[in-house]
Amino acid sequence: MVSRAFFLLTLFFSFALANTLEKISIEKEYLKLFFKRPLKKQELNSFIIPSNNITKYVFDFKNCTKNKKIKYKYTCKGELQSIRISQYKANVVRVVIDSRVKYLLKFFQKDSAIFHISLPAHKVSQEKNKEVKKLFNSIRKDLDTSKISPKEQKAQIYSTPYSINLKNNYFILIDPGHGKQDAGAVAGRYKEKVLVLQIAKRVYKKLKILGFKVAMTRYRDNQFLSLHQRIKKANKLHADLFVSIHANSISNWRRKNIAKGVETYFLLKTRNARALRIAAKENRTLLSAKDSATRKVLLNAVFTGPKIELSHRLAIDVQKAVLESVRSIYPDVKDGGVRGGPFYVLVGAEMPAILIEVGYISNPVERKRLFSPLYQEKIADGIVKGIIRYLKNRERELE
Ligand SMILES: [Zn+2]
């Protein structure tokens, strides 16, 4: 009986007693955090804030204070920019790893009360290649497991987008272009429908991590929606923003090395030959089935979008952010600019709506990049960042 009472008592105290982070040690592979007593599962909250240049890996240790001798910031060299440790709240210690790369994050508790967090390469520069490889593998693995279950699709739960300081919750509908029998642009075995679905999934995941409500018009390759069905879905769901993701190609193969770059479109009547040509390509599935009278009606609908101004601004913010992001690894990516165009997928949208052409799969150099996980991550980062930038500016205006 005595031993049992003692056991209960220890259990009680170990639960109730506040923990202390006593010291830290930055080692080659791990950051080690020495706590006074072992952590409990419910005392740890961790999340990732993806961003353009620096990815933040955040760990909150609840029911904990830190030894005042531990510095706030440790600046590092290499892929690891810094480690920050703060008394975030009276009883929460926050550890942030600012990394210049996305890396395979591992964390665990070992030797009773020593918490280990893996670090990206720092100091030792020969480690870089290995780390890049690791990074690729982790992203690839992430993509393989990126099937979004029907349950997850339905669970559109808002959480607070605290990390990005937006006042309201927003619902973003992501539209991966084409699908099923409609491959979109094709270059050999490379298909637009496959590429844009991969990128859309990355955008979806990032927005979800940040706390947005988010859905996609299609989640699988064998799903086909007409252009009209896509925008109808956006209106029905009362999405705040509609972002359609496409990839470009040119039919004149003699120019295949010249045509390249990122372009963002919003719905507008235009005489711009280039915008018309690209719109015609994206509109093909719709127009092929219509007689000329129907086409005329549809064309007229194009010219009266109520959200043109806002769509234009969203297009500018997304275009800019995507370029910034992809140029962090390939500074030569061409800025194809923001243009208005008669894209039917955007017709009838009750919310700001844009269509982004992430690159030319007809261009051999760009195609190789587009189908690489790292480049896709950069595009997705840019789209997310552009969306946030737009929403922040809107909130500022409405203040
Ligand atoms: Zn397309």
Distance 279 CA to ligand 1 centre (A): 9
In 10 A of CB 258, how many CB atoms? 11
Q: Give the distance (Å) from ligand 1 centre to CA of residue 89.
A: 48
Ligand 1 geometric centre to CA of 221 (Å): 14
pLDDT at 335: 97
pLDDT of residue 133: 44
152 CA → ligand 1 middle, Å? 26
Torsion sign across C-alpha atoms 166, 169, 171, 176: positive
356 CA to centre of ligand 1 in angstroms? 9
Q: What are phi and psi of 374, to 5 degrees?
A: -65, -45
Long-range contacts of 269-276 (CB under 8 A, 24+ apart): 269/302, 269/303, 269/340, 269/342, 270/339, 270/340, 270/341, 270/342, 272/339, 272/340, 272/341, 274/339, 275/339, 275/340, 275/341, 275/342, 276/341, 276/342
The average pLDDT across 287-310 equals: 58
- The C-alpha atoms of residue 280 and residue 285 are separated, in whole angstroms, by 10
Going from the Cα of 190 to the center of ligand 1, the distance in angstroms, rounded, reads 13
pLDDT in tens, 43-57: 999 888 887 788 899
The mean pLDDT of 86-97, rounded to a whole number, is: 93
Ligand 1 centroid, distance to 343 Cα (angstroms):
10
What percent of the chain has a predicted confidence (pLDDT) above 90?
A: 35
Instruction: Indicate if the pLDDT at residue 289 is higher than 70.
Output: no
Q: Report the distance separating Cα 86 and Cα 71, nearest Å.
A: 8
**pLDDT at position 151, please?**
53
Give the largest Cα separation in the chain, rounded: 91
State the Cα–Cα distance between residues 72 and 108, nearest whole angstrom.
22
Domains, the chain, in order of start with CATH, read 14-124 (2.60.40.3500), 146-398 (3.40.630.40)
pLDDT of residue 132: 38
Q: Is 71 helix (H, G, I), strand (E, B) or coil?
A: coil
C-alpha distances out from residue 280 to 277, 287, 341, Å: 5, 9, 10
pTM of the model: 0.57
pLDDT at 275: 65
Q: Report the pLDDT value the prediction gives residue 286, as an integer from 0 to 100.
A: 56
User: What's the gap in Å between 122 CA and the centre of ligand 1?
Assistant: 41
| CA trace torsion 14, 16, 18, 21 (10° rounding) | 30
Cα(177) to centroid(ligand 1), Å: 5
Q: Are 173 and 236 in contact (CB under 8 A)?
A: no
Determine the distance separating the centroid of ligand 1 and the alpha carbon of 248, expressed in angstroms.
7
Per-residue tokens: 271: 């005489």
246 C-alpha vs ligand 1 centroid, how far in Å?
Answer: 4
What's the 12 CA to ligand 1 centre distance in angstroms?
A: 61
| C-alpha 146 – ligand 1 centre gap (Å) | 22
Model pLDDT, residue 276 = 66
Ligand 1 center to residue 124 CA distance, Å? Answer: 44
| Centroid of ligand 1 to alpha carbon of 371 (angstroms) | 15
Neighbouring residues of 224: CB distance < 8 A, sequence distance ≥ 6:
179, 180, 181, 182, 218
Ligand 1 centroid to Cα of residue 238, in Å, is 24
CA of 282 to the centre of ligand 1 (A): 5
pLDDT (tens digit per residue) in 336-387 = 999 887 676 566 778 888 999 999 999 999 999 999 988 998 899 899 989 9
Q: What is the DSSP letter of 18?
A: P
Q: Is-contact 382 52, C-beta < 8 A?
A: yes
Q: Residue 310 C-alpha to ligand 1 middle, in angstroms?
A: 22
The SS3 of residue 380 is helix
H/E element, 110: strand 107-110
Q: So what's the pLDDT on residue 178? A: 94
Output the CA 249–ligand 1 centroid distance in Å: 9
Q: Do the Cβ atoms of 201 and 143 come closer than 8 Å? A: yes
Please give the distance, rounded to the nearest whole angstrom, from the Cα atom of residue 252 to the centre of ligand 1: 17
CA distances, 183 to each of 3, 177, 355, 361, 367 (Å): 70, 9, 17, 12, 15
62 alpha carbon – ligand 1 mean position (Å)? 47
Per-residue pLDDT of 31-46, as tens digits, reads 999 998 888 888 999 8
So what's the pLDDT on residue 168?
81
